[in-house]
Chain A
Amino acid sequence: MRLTCPLCGDRDRREFTYYGAEDYLHRPAAEAPLADWDGYLHLRDNPAGETRDLWYHEAGCAQWLLVSRNTVTHAISKVELVAERKA
């Protein structure tokens, strides 16, 4: 598996650390309902198909990346910098 880092280019999987689902980018406000916090902390989809998750380019540029990939075909369709995403 290889990821194309927007800054570093095509790199081997062992340079990256997996963090988890994209959900971690959508932290509820402190006063949000408990159900929102429950969902944020514990409830994850397990899709057969397109999914988006966070990876850290540890041995490269040290940026957080948002990776769009397919769990069925293993195709990686997009890699974006979390720091430059439009909220």
Chain B
Amino acid sequence: MAELIAKGPFDGQEPVSAGGAVLAPLALGPIWSLALFPGQAKAAEQALKPLDLGFPAPGQWLQGKAGARLVWTGRDQAFLIGAEPLEALAGLAAITDQSDGWAALALKCSAAEAVLARLVPVDLRAQAFPPGRAIRAGLNHMPAVILRVESGFEILTFRSMARTAWHELAEVQAHLAARAALTV
């Protein structure tokens, strides 16, 4: 059988440090969509306990055991990131492997908020969007899931749009750098 080579969505891409922000590819590990069947929220909460997770409220993400995270992504829907789904969830939620469907980026440092302010029409400043928050919103014209973590932001977008997302963000970094150079 042919030996297939798995490639990340940003293979070969070095981080970009410009405009007071650092943009870098991010490897998140497995991503599973958990879409609750009607009326199964309570049972799913119980089933998630071994991972030290509950079901996240709208706009939230939760940190569980051993790197497992559960990110709200819609009504009665969340992404389990960095862990395999538990057997106990069978029958409580529609579980689909989305690992290869998404591209993830880390955006950090002092100007990270200023970069996103040019692309996302939602207040993502720390006082409105602290660590533990997650939203679905448009990154310019692309659907995205955005998480606030201690070090900044994690941005998930469709893998087919990975290069466009990178371009949008890096371009804003260049604009901010150009503006800073003007006002010296």
Contact = CB atoms under 8 A, between A and B. Distances in A.
Q: Are A and B a genuine interacting pair, yes or no?
A: yes
Contacts, number: 38
> Would you call the interface of chain B mostly helix, strand, loop, or mixed?
strand
B135 interface: yes
Contacts of A9: 59, 122
Interface residues of B, number: 11
Given A8-B59, A9-B59, A15-B137, A61 B74 contact: yes
B75 A11 contact: no
Nearest to B123: A10
A22 B121 CA distance: 27
A72 B143 CA distance: 33
Given A9-B122, A63-B75, 4 more contacts: A8-B135, A14-B138, A59-B137, A59-B138
17 contacts: A7-B74, A8-B59, A8-B136, A11-B121, A11-B137, A15-B137, A59-B137, A59-B138, A59-B143, A60-B135, A60-B136, A60-B137, A61-B58, A61-B75, A63-B74, A63-B75, A81-B75
